[in-house]
Structure 1
């Protein structure tokens, strides 16, 4: 019975954590109707550059072409020109539609005498532009009415930007824009939003994620020389790679709003990546040429199932890598780590440094016996545990050009791992390089990059199955992240000391996040290599922070210090996207705050309560998304699922706080429909989200911790169900 229940609970947890594998269409439609209208900027712009929209046209339906052209004509921004280049279309309707617009102000129509394909047609248009900036657009796609205004708005904030891209979504092939009143795309025809990160050069090396809408400084476009016919199919990708060789990472801007609607025609890549199989081979060739052009030491490698090629960098000079492993009283785990390093490391130049902060004498003896005759240095210094100090000591004794900080509970799984990490860490723009970490003997993700959410740093896709591909291949190709875990973190020695190494005022938690924040502030990009996959026997030696109350309190204090040191990153992650919500690791859309509502601003009502009933319940699962400390106030947000037990406005609903002494408080909650629960269980029963805002100073002082539970009334008023969670409020 117990085993069956455990297996069932595991399946339920799997379903909860797997919710981000797709974007629920109903949630996206709700987002379009409720959130999108609130995001647009307004006002008079002091700087209004002319933006030239260049559209190559070839054999497209009249309705699609009119939608494309009218979406430019109906822009809220006025200083634009539209250049339409017909690439000698064989369909008679194309010339007829173009003739309808040829005499309109700000529109120029060019008819080519022969078909030259998309690159030559685009270049014909580029030769005629007069604008300071150029926007590329396909003849069957649609701009949001505010698209060019939002681009100009960003340029008013930073006039040095050379390249601006936006978020996008897709529209159905049969979609037809409405023209009554405001030009718009019907909500029912929009789907598959791509809420992108800010400029991520390592992600772009794997895939052309910027895509639409993209706007470029005309002066540089002419220096680059436009598009190249030999790379038709991936001509935009080739163009941007060459464009970036004429500017810098700091001069790329991102509008985190959907400015472009990509038509999903059956013959287009938007519908099926296999629709243009030649484009994949072209992408490989253009990357190989780019490697030679830039003088990089790298190979191009196909990513199974993603229709993309990654770059695998090599450190051909084989500079030494110092693998620094903090450890204490953990010989068996340490021995396994060292054994897998020896077995799977074919990189020719590395050393291992073990930093021990106080192992017992018998453990010291075992370590010394094991490392005898090996290229392993053992540093013993008895001291209070301070991970940052131990790593800094290891760095002081290291002779390598690159530092790899590695937990002693890591297991290496494949050859080439160290070469791939070192090659990437050798890139000039790169700060910290991390690896994908899985839970032992499974495909469950433990770490694949760190998100800086509203509730604090959190591992992306934690506990989700790596057998699946998530959110535009985030767990497949190399994306940039604001932070990676210190359980496996490589960094160039010079860059490590440039930012001051590990801050020893973070003895246990957030020391790796602080280091990554400092690297980001210095202008470097932190990246996770998804092709370096290791096992992480998470916190075997030290224990988990969320299973000990003293550790939880320390965690909260160190989190507060983290944002005090880096205030610009509190609630902000340039490599995430604000439209995805501040409380989830799965890249699923969240409507507002931690759930589907506006966060509470006023304190919740709380009263003493005596629990004198059974706390076990059936078909009742509670989940706490976040416990957020806001000075004396604590915000708790979560949801629960009750199975067949219907929860409506007639039932009473409380959160219960139980102190160490047994004293309890019940707290009124703000309830809302939880889309997260609904997506997980696809049920109309019990999909309830909740939030409270409690003044912890009003809790009994004798109890320093309070366990959080969810309580609902049963079918009879005297019946109650309580589900205790593993989360606590700490005074």
Structure 2
């Protein structure tokens, strides 16, 4: 049974957490019940600005309208006003419901004499606001009871904010708020949470991801002039684009909590983007107008399958790009890289600089022969490998306004790639620009932005199939990321030197992450262009589970240095919502006591152990997600699968460490519900996650490395099986 299950596991391992916009409903409900009650802030606020909630109303059911109004009335924050604007509804019961609230404190009802559609109705309400801030709300949606308090709480932390948005989810059309006791939306009616990044100007150029709840400083709303009827359908998108022209990126705040419940009606965009086909055309037109208004050099381009338009920037002055390629003893791969650059680069002004740190003479001769007569500069300097130093040497010899650092194992696939990277790098707010990298001859993702997870920097969606769209089009449109890979990284020359270039104290790993961290700290935004798709010819098998021992130790040391240099980013990524998993690359929900969990703080029990059973006759899946070095302590996190998560959750479980001499230790594990396992095998069970924390100094010093094995009980409790992994603990 276990052997058959292992074959099945290998067939479907690449399904690991391929989520799109849909979050597993059972996991989300568990999150609502166990996590959400713990996230709310409390306490008296020293600054309590009046927040005006403006709601245009038109032909909505009585129950939906009452839910909307009552969700404002039941706010834990007291300093609000509600302005309801009836846009000449033809349904009599709308006026009846509004009349029930018209005499209540803090509520004003305005009846328009003619229908003007959503923009005119909203503007009518805006003309009557008295608050320092304005919140927009639709008449069929619902606020969380803590919504306005959380907005005010953030304003107490930073009173300079002009625009605040929150996370959101959707509720079913038939949902009715619970009015018995505390006002609340039934858990069963909530779904599709959108846990958003902090302000991401490049993502916002592609899609109106801020959406609900959004709160704006009234003074600027007046300057902007409210909503424009010619952009009905995308009027709020147009409004925010114009609003941002009156403030700065640093004055936008994000509440990473679900403050807004968007009702999913069959005729609404919440249910089906195609319900308002005119909205797509309107979005295109408003972006085209925005390009003209801002004086940008850009085109609007439709993103297939995503119901969105992206911006493609152009560098019309064609400033020179210096493509800097570190390489050593890798002629055939380098030749392929150079050939694809020549074949697919239509950008008219670029140079190529090869930096070689010690190739053999025959390789040097081949390179010199190949580049003869081409606009390629070859710099040879024999030295110990230091990727950062090689890149810095290339930059010193470069004459371009833009640097493109490119690995020699990259293959270009399409025309226009360099123009798109350069156009984006030319934007004033942008730091590093990366590309989507795929494994060769496949649609499997190698890089699509870097997440700064609990276990360290990790490539988003690594080894997942790019044929699918993941988590609100993260792999389809341009999103801002804390970092992008140095395998293909473009940056403006001046910005590169502003932050000190590559830190040569990072000779092998994390040099690109360090550079991106420095750019972020300087106020720039790093972005990945999903329309620039390249092949990366690194080994598909190389990854977290297959790193050699020396690499693991070096990674641990350089990761420690990375966070020592950038302590604000240890355990924090502004573009990765804290409600998402701290140990995975796939944007799943963060659970407490399930799935991703609070790391162990105490050492695991460990004892000498003798394996007196056959370990080679059984094969099951054992996955090690991370081996983390914390000075003398080592943390190991992973999970296993034999064929049934329900059964596996009841098996006895240990980790086994086997030294080179054959000496073994058995280690007690802390078990947890692995969300990765649950989603991979589409199961509500998953108590197959494990974690250990040991002091490596307590291992026998005669062995310098110990292989990690996962030991489980069989179907009969007296049977034991071990699956050896390719991960090691180094002393």
TM-score by length of 1: 0.97
CA distance in 2, matches of 1:595, 1:542: 25
Is the contact between residue 593 and residue 599 of structure 1 (CA under 8 Å) also seen in structure 2?
A: no
Q: Which moved more, 1:672-681 or 1:514-523?
A: 672-681
Contact residue 337 and residue 409 of structure 1 kept, 8 A: yes
Deviations 1:11-39 (A, max 9, x none): 22212253577411000000000000000
Structure 1 581/3 Cα, relative in aligned 2: closer, same or farther at 3 Å?
A: closer
Deviates more, 1:636-645 or 1:151-160: 636-645
Counterparts of 1:596 and 1:490 in 2: how far apart (Å)?
A: 34
Distance verdict in 2 for CA 1:498–1:683, change over 3 Å: closer
Distance 1:21 1:708, change over 3 A: farther
Q: CA deviation at 1:687?
A: 4.8
Pair 506,81 (structure 1): closer, same or farther in 2 beyond 3 Å: same
Deviations 1:575-617 (A, max 9, x none): 0000002111000113138835443222111001111322235
Partner SS, residue 469 of structure 1 = coil
CA distance in 2, matches of 1:387, 1:544: 21
Q: Deviation per CA, 1:130-169, whole angstroms, max 9, x where unpaired?
A: 0000000000000000000000000000000000000000
**How much has 1:730 moved relative to structure 2?**
2.0
The offset of 1:723, in angstroms, is 0.9
Match of 2:101 in 1: 101
Partner of 1:10: 10
Bigger Cα displacement from structure 2, 193-202 vs 601-610: 601-610
Write the distance in 1 (CA, Å) between the matches of 2:389 and 2:337.
21
Deviation at 1:724, TM superposition (A): 1.3
| CA contact 2:6–2:642 (8 Å) conserved in 1 | no
Counterpart position of 1:670: 670
Contact preservation (8 Å) 2:655, 2:710:
yes
Change (3 A) 1:540 1:355: farther
Q: After alignment, is 341-350 or 707-716 more displaced?
A: 707-716
Q: Which runs of 5+ in 1 are unaligned?
A: none
CA–CA distance in structure 2, aligned partners of residues 365 and 459 of structure 1: 36
- What is the CA distance between 1:457 and its match in structure 2? 0.1
Contact 2:173 2:264 in 1 (8 A): yes
For residues 22 and 544 of structure 2, the distance between their equivalents in structure 1, rounded to whole angstroms, comes to 30
Provide the residue aligned with 1:515 in structure 2: 515
2: CA distance between counterparts of 1:223 and 1:444?
47
Contact 1:17 1:463 in 2 (8 A): no
When residues 650 and 688 of structure 1 are mapped into structure 2, their CA distance, relative to the original with a 3 A threshold, is: closer
The answer (yes or no) to whether the contact 1:409–1:540 under 8 Å persists in 2 is no
Question: Given the superposition, is the C-alpha separation of residues 487 and 375 from structure 1 closer, same or farther in structure 2, using an over 3 Å criterion?
Answer: same
Secondary structure at 1:545 match in 2: coil
Q: Contact 1:291/1:297 (CA < 8 Å) preserved in 2?
A: yes
Alignment check: 8 A CA contact 1:51 1:135 kept = yes
CA-CA distance at 1:541 after TM superposition = 14
Q: CA deviation at 1:7?
A: 8.1
Task: Measure the CA separation in 2 of the matches of 1:287 and 1:524.
Answer: 23
* Structure-2 change in CA distance of 1:316 and 1:6 (3 Å): farther
Tell me the CA shift for residue 700 of structure 1.
1.3
* Contact kept in structure 2, 1:642 and 1:685, CA below 8 Å: no
**Separation in structure 2 between the aligned mates of residue 374 and residue 469 of structure 1, nearest angstrom:** 40
Q: How does 1:239-638 map to 2 (within 5 A)?
A: 239-538=239-538, 546-592=546-592, 595-616=595-616, 618=618, 620-638=620-638
Structure 2 runs not aligned, ≥5 long: none
How far apart, CA to CA, are the structure 2 residues paired with 1:94 and 1:493?
A: 60
**1:380-434 Cα shifts (integer Å, max 9, x gaps):** 0000000000000000000000000000000000000000000000000000000
Q: What is the DSSP-based 3-state SS (H/G/I as helix, E as strand, rest coil) of the residue aligned with 1:625?
A: strand
SS at match of 2:726: strand
Preserved CA contact (<8 Å) 2:553 2:730: yes
Q: Tell me how large the CA RMSD over aligned residues is.
A: 2.2
Q: Which residue number corresponds to residue 37 of structure 2?
A: 37
Corresponding position of 2:151: 151
Report the Cα distance in structure 2 between the residues aligned to 1:317 and 1:645, rounded to whole angstroms.
59
Q: 1:105 to 1:519 in 2, by over 3 A?
A: same
Contact 1:411 1:536 in 2 (8 A): yes
* Cα displacement (A) at 1:715: 3.5
Contact 1:22–1:588 (CA under 8 A) maintained in structure 2 = no
Q: 1:687 to 1:680 in 2, by over 3 A?
A: farther
Task: Compute the displacement of 1:268 (Å).
Answer: 0.2
- Distance across 2 between alignment mates of 1:64 and 1:644: 43
Structure 1 pair 23–503 and aligned structure 2 pair: CA distance change class (3 A): same
Structure 1 position 237, deviation (Å): 0.1
Indicate conservation of the 8 Å contact 1:643/1:686, yes or no. Answer: no
Q: How far has the Cα of 1:259 moved from its partner?
A: 0.2
Moved more, 607-616 or 178-187: 607-616
Q: CA deviation at 1:542?
A: 11
3-state secondary structure, aligned to 2:182? coil
Aligned to 2:392, the other structure's residue is in SS state helix
Deviations along 1:697-722, whole A, 9 cap, x unmatched? 21112222221111012244442111
Q: Note if contact 2:2-2:643 (Cα within 8 Å) is conserved in structure 1.
A: no
Distance 1:86 1:76 in 2: 26
Deviation at 1:626, TM superposition (A): 1.9
Contact preservation (8 Å) 2:451, 2:460: yes
2:649, 2:408 → 1: CA distance? Answer: 52
Checking the alignment, whether the CA contact within 8 Å between 1:607 and 1:667 is kept in structure 2 is: yes
Q: What's the secondary structure of 1:465's corresponding residue?
A: coil
Q: Would the alpha carbon gap of residues 14 and 547 (structure 1) be closer, same or farther in structure 2, given more than 3 Å must change? A: same
Tell me the number of residue pairs that the alignment of Structure 1 and Structure 2 aligns. 731
Q: For residues 577 and 16 of structure 1, what CA distance do their matches in structure 2 show?
A: 20
Tell me: CA distance 1:541–1:632, structure 2 relative to 1, closer, same or farther (3 Å).
Answer: closer
From the superposition, tell whether residues 701 and 212 of structure 1 become closer, same or farther in structure 2 (CA, over 3 Å).
Answer: same
CA distance in 2, matches of 1:644, 1:85: 56
Moved more, 592-601 or 171-180: 592-601
Closer, same or farther: CA 616–92 of 1 in aligned 2, 3 Å: farther
Structure 2 CA distance for aligned equivalents of residues 153 and 617 of structure 1: 59
Q: Specify whether residues 132 and 55 from structure 1 end up closer, same or farther in structure 2 by C-alpha distance, changes over 3 A only.
A: same
Paired residues of 1:619 and 1:644 also in contact (CA < 8 A): no
CA distance in 1, matches of 2:300, 2:613: 64
Counterparts of 2:106 and 2:727 in 1: how far apart (Å)?
A: 61
Distance 2:425 2:10 in 1: 37
**1:330-377 superposed Cα distances (whole Å, 9 cap, x missing partner):** 000000000000000000000000000000000000000000000000
Distance 1:307 1:156, change over 3 A: same
> Is the alpha carbon distance of 1:7 and 1:85 closer, same or farther for their aligned partners in structure 2, counting shifts above 3 Å?
same
C-alpha distance in 2, partners of 1:625/1:451?
A: 15
Are the equivalent residues in 2 in contact too, given 1:581–1:594 (CA < 8 A)?
no
Residue 729 of structure 1 deviates from its aligned partner by: 1.8
Post-superposition offset of 1:111? 0.2
Question: In the alignment, is the contact (CA less than 8 A) between 1:675 and 1:687 conserved in 2?
Answer: no
Could you say if the C-alpha distance between residues 437 and 660 of structure 1 is closer, same or farther in structure 2, counting changes exceeding 3 Å?
A: same
Q: Compared with structure 1, are the counterparts of its residues 544 and 328 closer, same or farther at alpha carbon in structure 2 (3 Å cutoff)?
A: farther
Q: 1:405 to 1:292 in 2, by over 3 A?
A: same
Map Cα deviations across residues 296-342 of structure 1 (whole Å, 9 max, x no partner): 00000000000000000000000000000000000000000000000
The 8 Å contact of residues 603 and 694 in structure 1, kept in 2 or not, is answered as yes
TM-superposed deviation, 1:644: 5.0
Measured against aligned partners, the alpha-carbon deviations of 1:595-648 in whole angstroms (never above 9, x if no partner) come to 354432221110011113222354621112222223322222221112159747
TM-aligned CA distance change 1:596 to 1:397, over 3 Å: closer
CA 1:6–1:497 in structure 2 vs 1: closer, same or farther (change >3 Å)?
Answer: farther
In 2, distance between residues paired with 1:684 and 1:24?
10
Label 1:593 to 1:430 Cα distance change in 2 as closer, same or farther (>3 A).
farther
Q: Quick one: distance in 1 between partners of 2:68 and 2:494?
A: 51
Quick one: distance in 1 between partners of 2:12 and 2:300?
Answer: 40
Counterpart contact for 1:136–1:213, Cα < 8 Å: yes
- With 380-389 and 603-612 compared, the bigger mean Cα shift is at 603-612
Structure 1: how far apart are the matches of 2:722 and 2:195? 38
| SS of residue matched to 2:648 | coil
